[in-house]
Amino acid sequence: MSALTSAIADIAKGWKYRNFWQLLAWNDLKQRFRRSWLGVGWIMFAFTLFLGAKLAIFSQISQSDFNVFAVYLTVGFAAWRFILGSVIEGTNTFISAENWIKGESLPMSVHVYRSVCRSSLLALGTLPPVMIACWYFMDSYLMAWVSIPLVFITYLTTAFWVSMVLGSLCARVRDFTHLITTVMQIMFFLTPIIYEIEVLGPTAAKYMAYNPFVYYLDILRIPVLTGTIPWNSWIIVGCFTLAGVIAALSTFAFSRRKIVFWL
């Protein structure tokens, strides 16, 4: 059996353990907020608090109506929280599971599923404020509701291949964990989350076309704001997703049996 076939079989076998890795992901969250009064409620509380502060400050420089900017910021910030969580959690996919990898005979993909599930649970905590903001500040567009399931699947697929690629890379070279964390902090300010592209002026705005995170935000934010489908953004996101899946399968096929020795 080739390495690629074994990797695909591992991914399929890992899905059969879904009850197990879902339980592990939920337990990770409970341990993170252990002995706190709000527990996992801190996810929604922290998101709402940061969102309120950013809305109060950055709405002053927005060129849009306050209601439009409130939804723009809420949806964009929620999407970024999931993207950031997927990347950061992805760098520790196998490192944080060292004891399980060395102590139990499980499909290696179980730990990837666990990482993606953990990021998804964290993202669910931002959902109530987003729904309230969309309901209160804007009219609902049918196209937004039609496209959201596809956006959700795309985000999960992206989180999966990111966790597989970065998890393998960072297990081999630990410095990449810190490098990627630093890069993501920089990218927060280089991505139109808390501001609109128009405020940058034409010279700076043209460089946004080279930022892939812009397109991942667009496929969620534009249907909510305008009720239209950003086809150009979908094409670019689709290309990134396809390339990422291919890279993930290649990386996993190469590293799957070596990860235990890298930890």
Q: Give dist(CA 159, CA 193) in Å, integer.
A: 19
User: What is the pLDDT at residue 235?
Assistant: 96
Give the mean pLDDT per block of 10 residues along the chain (263 residues). 87 94 90 75 81 80 79 90 93 92 91 94 84 76 77 95 95 93 92 84 79 94 88 95 95 92 90
With the C-alpha atoms ordered 143, 144, 148, 154, is the resulting torsion angle positive or negative?
A: positive
Is residue 199 a contact partner of residue 208, using CB atoms and an 8 Å limit? no
Question: What phi, psi does 244 have (nearest 5°)?
Answer: -65, -40
Q: Give dist(CA 2, CA 243) in Å, integer.
A: 21
User: What is the pLDDT at residue 252?
Assistant: 94
Q: What is the DSSP letter of 139?
A: P
User: What is the pLDDT at residue 83?
Assistant: 94
Q: For residue 71, which of 225, 228, 227 has the smallest C-alpha distance?
A: 225
Q: What is the pTM of this model?
A: 0.90
User: What is the pLDDT at residue 215?
Assistant: 95
Q: Give dist(CA 129, CA 51) in Å, integer.
A: 9
Would you say how long the chain is, in residues?
A: 263
- Tell me the angle at which helices 109-124 and 18-32 cross, rounded to the nearest 10 degrees: 50
User: What is the pLDDT at residue 84?
Assistant: 93
Is residue 51 a contact partner of residue 188, using CB atoms and an 8 Å limit? no
Spell out the domain ranges in the chain.
3-262
Tokens matching residue 161: 């291949």
Q: For residue 137, which of 80, 65, 194, 193 has the smallest C-alpha distance?
A: 65
**SS3 of residue 60 by DSSP:** coil
Q: Give dist(CA 21, CA 25) in Å, integer.
A: 6
**Hey, what amino acid is at 230?**
P
